[in-house]
Amino acid sequence: MATVKFRFEDTSLSDILVEGVDEGLSILEVTEENDIHLNHNCGGVCACSTCHIYVQKGEDFLEEISDKEEDFIDRAINPRLESRLGCQCIILDSDAYIEVTIPDQSQIIGHEH
């Protein structure tokens, strides 16, 4: 089963290591199942940029970025080369080790847990 390590730009939050993640889940689904805050105003259907994350390690274990996802990332706050949308990052390998950073969510208006 896969492992995902979450880091946060908000330094008041500690890193979270989630082990035993099923292949086929998205990073957004992993956050939802583990009570990790990640905005997702559109409900995870690649129609906004609020679930924007930075993939630090393990990009090869994730579904490739689509043109539609790239278009929405351009609308995200502070996009970088390692930017992805959590709803589109489907884990492809049960042996995956992935590290992501969740940007500061305080500037995003919308869905709250």
Domains along the chain with CATH numbers: 2-102 (3.10.20.30)
pTM of the full structure: 0.92
Whole-number Å distance between alpha carbons of 84 and 16: 19
pLDDT digits (tens, 9 = 90+) for 81-103: 999 999 999 999 999 999 999 99
pLDDT digits (tens, 9 = 90+) for 14-63: 999 999 999 999 999 999 999 999 999 998 999 999 999 999 999 999 99
For 17, the token pair is 């290591």
Cβ(25)–Cβ(4) under 8 Å?
A: no
